[in-house]
């Protein structure tokens, strides 16, 4: 990272990573850590924390045991921030930003791919091919079906546009009513109309376990569930029961409650189920895009400009399309 004359130096930048640190990022002088113990040692004096390993709970685990008084800003290389919504960070003055915008189009394409795969029974075709079985059958027309998409952020809107392009009627559901968006309270009335229920909402106290036995019972037997949000949106035993009993037609799960999915989970083998390993947004070059989002925001921070993609910590997500915060104070400590 080059620093202009107008940019001030940082006291310290720490990066929490797993196997590989961020690509194309000048890491000279950066504190690199891979676990909670390392993070606890690095946080004192750290001004900016990049959570590159966004599947790690190291920040939550390290926070109570270390001095975070110099920390001003935490950035996560993900759209979801649920792993960072713990009391210590929530109650502090530390700004939290995410990587909103990187995953919108890839995830929308992935959802469209799942809809087409299930409607055209591509899993059945591949299974028949593996058996060398010339098994002719009829498949479903996608145009004219109806999708209920829960999550009205950029990812949800991108999914709605993508499905609309192939003739799917989309009801978009968000926290509150807006232009073209149903409030969350409308969801029970929309479920009986859904051919496709797409979950793309953040995991918050309001959305955790939203797809439970009651919600599944409201879906028609033809409905299929697609979850690209967070595993915690679904009460998995209730979903398993609905699938086993044929009360819904199928599910495509890119996220599950416990990742990786345990080997003995019934979800692996239930008919009509597609399981993928949390990859709906991970296209070629995605790591570079995530690094670019952070470096652009870091340049704003060092120039004393408002940050982009600032998370409302009381809600658990970014609340506007042009999300910014006031310039972060360089004096005083986090509470």
Instruction: Name the strand (E) or helix (H) holding 290.
Output: helix 286-302
CB-based contact 84:60 (threshold 8 Å): yes
Q: Which residues pair with 164 in a beta bridge?
A: none
Assess contact for 198 and 150: CB atoms under 8 A. Answer: yes
230 is known as an active-site residue:
yes
Q: Which of 100, 230, 236, 308 is catalytic?
A: 230
Angle in degrees, CA 281, 201, 198, rounded to 5: 75
Q: How many helices (H) and strands (E) does the chain have?
A: 10, 14
109 among known catalytic residues: no
Catalytic residue among 161, 247, 278, 287: 278
Alpha-carbon distances of 133 from 130, 185, 191, rounded to whole Å: 8, 47, 37
Categorise residue 23: left if φ over 0, alpha if ψ from -120 to 50, beta otherwise.
beta
> Is 247 tagged catalytic?
no
- Structural element, H or E, at residue 38: helix 36-42
Catalytic positions are: 230, 259, 278
């Amino acid at each position: 990272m080059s620093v202009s004359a107008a940019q001030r130096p940082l006291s310290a930048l720490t990066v929490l990573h797993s196997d590989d640190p961020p690509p194309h990022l000048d890491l000279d002088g950066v504190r690199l850590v891979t676990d909670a113990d390392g993070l606890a040692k690095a946080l004192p004096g750290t001004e900016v924390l990049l959570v590159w390993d966004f599947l790690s709970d190291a920040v939550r685990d390290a926070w109570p045991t270390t001095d975070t008084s110099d920390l001003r800003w935490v950035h996560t290389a993900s759209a979801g921030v649920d792993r960072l919504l713990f009391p210590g960070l929530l109650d502090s003055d530390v700004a939290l930003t995410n990587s909103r915008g990187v995953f919108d189009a890839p995830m929308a394409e992935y959802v469209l791919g799942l809809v087409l795969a299930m409607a055209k029974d591509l899993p059945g075709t591949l299974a028949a091919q593996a058996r060398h079985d010339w098994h002719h059958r009829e498949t479903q027309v996608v145009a004219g079906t109806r999708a209920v998409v829960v999550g009205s952020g950029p990812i949800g809107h991108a999914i709605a546009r993508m499905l609309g392009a192939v003739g799917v009627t989309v009801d978009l559901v968000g926290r509150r009513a807006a232009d073209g968006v149903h409030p969350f309270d409308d969801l029970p009335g929309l479920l009986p109309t859904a051919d496709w229920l797409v979950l793309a909402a953040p995991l918050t106290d309001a959305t955790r376990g939203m797809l439970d036995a009651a919600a599944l019972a409201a879906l028609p037997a033809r409905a299929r569930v697609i979850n690209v949000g967070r595993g915690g949106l679904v009460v998995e035993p209730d979903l398993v029961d609905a699938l086993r009993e044929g009360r819904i037609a199928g599910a495509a799960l890119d996220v599950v409650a416990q990742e990786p999915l345990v080997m003995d989970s019934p979800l692996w083998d239930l008919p009509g189920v597609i399981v993928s390993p949390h990859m709906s947004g991970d296209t070629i070059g995605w790591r570079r895009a995530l690094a670019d989002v952070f470096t652009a925001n870091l340049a704003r921070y060092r120039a004393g400009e408002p940050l982009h993609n600032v998370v409302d910590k009381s809600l658990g997500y970014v609340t506007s399309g042009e999300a910014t915060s006031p310039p972060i104070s360089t004096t005083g400590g986090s509470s």
